[in-house]
Amino acid sequence: MFKKKTSALLFFQFVLIFQIATAQESIMTEYSPLYVQKLIAIAKENYPKSKAYDHQVRIAKNNLSGEKAAWLDPFSFSYLLRSGDRTLDIVNPQLLTGYQFGVSISPGTLLRRPFTIKAAKEEVAIAQLEQNEYALQLETEVTRRYMYYLQSLNTLRLQNKIVVDAETSFNDQKLKYQRSEITLQEYNTASTSLSSAQMSRVQAEANMITAKSSLEELLVRKLEEIK
């Protein structure tokens, strides 16, 4: 009896290992690089942090444009209107009349301008590099979460098959127990195996839902909407 139980257990383990290996191999058959690239593009377009980096680049470019347009800041322009009244003013004699214009220059501000423009260009470069770095991180994260979703989906499919097999085995053992062909312990073992398989399926369902939600977090869309 012990040898029969051992042989049956080994056979069941072999079938289970084969099913797991088959399920894991099927992940690559479902994996689509084009679909992953589509998910990455959607994440870059919709994910708030990705948008934040876009705004940072625009702000840096706007600051650069502002610095380039500020070349005239060191120069101050002024004008004065002197009347044509010929009355002699001994204290402040007016030799010229009409509009008089003047220009003043701030040498310090003028000399600093090339450096402020250069600094603004560096800020643009830094913003673009940070944006590129995050884009790479986002690509990796989308791919990782998508692969985990496929893995959890296949695990759930496998677990569903295991539950079906466990139910079939339990029903068979139940019938044999009713016919007094097996002991109560063997019947309880089949019942325990079924309960364990069902609990594992619940966990697999939770893992799949979590993996799907985690991927959709980056997409800001439901997977059902993306074909």
DSSP conformation letters of 94-158 = ----EEEEEEEE-HHHHHHHHHHHHHHHHHHHHHHHHHHHHHHHHHHHHHHHHHHHHHHHHHHHH
Q: Rounded distance, CA 155 to CA 162, Å?
A: 10
Please check whether residue 215 is in contact with residue 145, taking contact to mean a CB–CB distance below 8 angstroms. Answer: yes
Per-residue pLDDT, averaged over 164-183, amounts to: 95
Q: Which of the pair, 11 or 214, is modelled with greater confidence?
A: 214
Q: pLDDT digits over 194-210, tens only?
A: 999 999 999 999 999 99
CATH superfamily of 13-18+28-72+107-225: Outer membrane efflux proteins (OEP) (1.20.1600.10)
Q: Which of the pair, 112 or 216, is modelled with greater confidence?
A: 216
The percent of residues above 70 in pLDDT, for the chain, comes to 70
Closest by Cα among 168, 190, 166 to 177: 190
Q: C-alpha 142: how far from its chain's center?
A: 6
What is residue 103's predicted lDDT score, i.e. its pLDDT? 57
Q: Which of the pair, 115 or 211, is modelled with greater confidence?
A: 211
Residue 191 has pLDDT above 70, yes or no: yes
What is residue 188's predicted lDDT score, i.e. its pLDDT? 95
What is residue 106's predicted lDDT score, i.e. its pLDDT? 62
Please check whether residue 56 is in contact with residue 127, taking contact to mean a CB–CB distance below 8 angstroms. Answer: yes
Per-residue pLDDT, averaged over 55-74, amounts to: 82
Per-residue pLDDT, averaged over 75-84, amounts to: 56
Q: Rounded distance, CA 21 to CA 15, Å?
A: 10
Cβ neighbors of 174 (< 8 A, separation 6 or more) are: 187, 190
Per-residue pLDDT, averaged over 40-50, amounts to: 96
Residue ranges of domains in the chain = 13-18+28-72+107-225
pLDDT band at residue 29 using 50, 70 and 90 as cut-offs: confident
**Cα distance from N-terminal residue to C-terminal residue, the chain:** 54
Token reading at 224: 């059902």
Please check whether residue 219 is in contact with residue 145, taking contact to mean a CB–CB distance below 8 angstroms. Answer: no
pTM summary value = 0.69
pLDDT band at residue 7 using 50, 70 and 90 as cut-offs: very low
Q: Rounded distance, CA 73 to CA 87, Å?
A: 39
What is residue 227's predicted lDDT score, i.e. its pLDDT? 85
Cβ neighbors of 176 (< 8 A, separation 6 or more) are: 182, 187
Q: pLDDT digits over 124-162, tens only?
A: 999 999 999 999 999 999 999 999 999 999 999 999 999
What is residue 115's predicted lDDT score, i.e. its pLDDT? 82
pLDDT band at residue 219 using 50, 70 and 90 as cut-offs: very high
Q: Rounded distance, CA 183 to CA 173, Å?
A: 10
**Lowest model confidence (mean pLDDT) among 61-75, 178-192, 204-218:** 61-75
